[in-house]
């Protein structure tokens, strides 16, 4: 794959822009795309969840627009709808990760 990154397809300097503010945003995008490609849901099904998340946030409409949080929320929703990941299961894992000692890496 590395050779494909060179040549005419290398990142453009003028047009270029960092798309993700933090690595987790890239992971969320990568997960959503990979799982759709793998057929766990269609992109339309994901999009419907994203539209609902966006509309929900706009109903409250305060602070900076947390696009990738909404994107993550949509991914959680579509995976719950498809019985792939139970929300309670995810929350439990999240709590475990939150209580990890700082400096944890793997």
Residues making contact with another protein (CB under 8 A)? 1, 4-5, 8-12, 14-17, 19-20, 22-24, 26-31, 33-38, 40, 43-44, 47, 50-51, 54-55, 58, 61, 65-69, 72, 75-76, 79, 84-85, 89-90, 93-94, 96-98, 102, 104-106
Question: Least distance (Å) from another protein to the CB of residue 97?
Answer: 5
Q: How far is residue 8 CA from its own chain's centroid?
A: 28
* Rounded Cα gap, residues 17 and 13, in angstroms: 8
Question: Least distance (Å) from another protein to the CB of residue 81?
Answer: 15
**Residue 6, φ and ψ in degrees, nearest 5:** -90, -175
Question: Least distance (Å) from another protein to the CB of residue 88?
Answer: 11
Q: Does residue 83 come out as left (phi exceeding 0), alpha (psi in the -120 to 50 range) or beta? A: left
């Amino acid at each position: 794959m590395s050779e494909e990154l060179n040549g005419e397809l290398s990142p453009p300097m003028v047009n270029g822009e960092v798309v993700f503010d933090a690595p987790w945003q890239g992971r969320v995008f990568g997960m959503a795309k990979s799982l759709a490609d793998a057929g766990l849901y269609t992109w339309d099904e994901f999009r419907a969840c994203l539209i609902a998340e966006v509309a929900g946030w706009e109903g409250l409409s305060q602070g900076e627009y947390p696009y990738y949080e909404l994107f993550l929320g949509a991914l959680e929703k579509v995976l719950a709808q498809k019985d792939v990941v139970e929300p309670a299961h995810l929350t439990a894992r999240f709590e475990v990760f939150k209580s990890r000692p700082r400096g944890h890496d793997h």
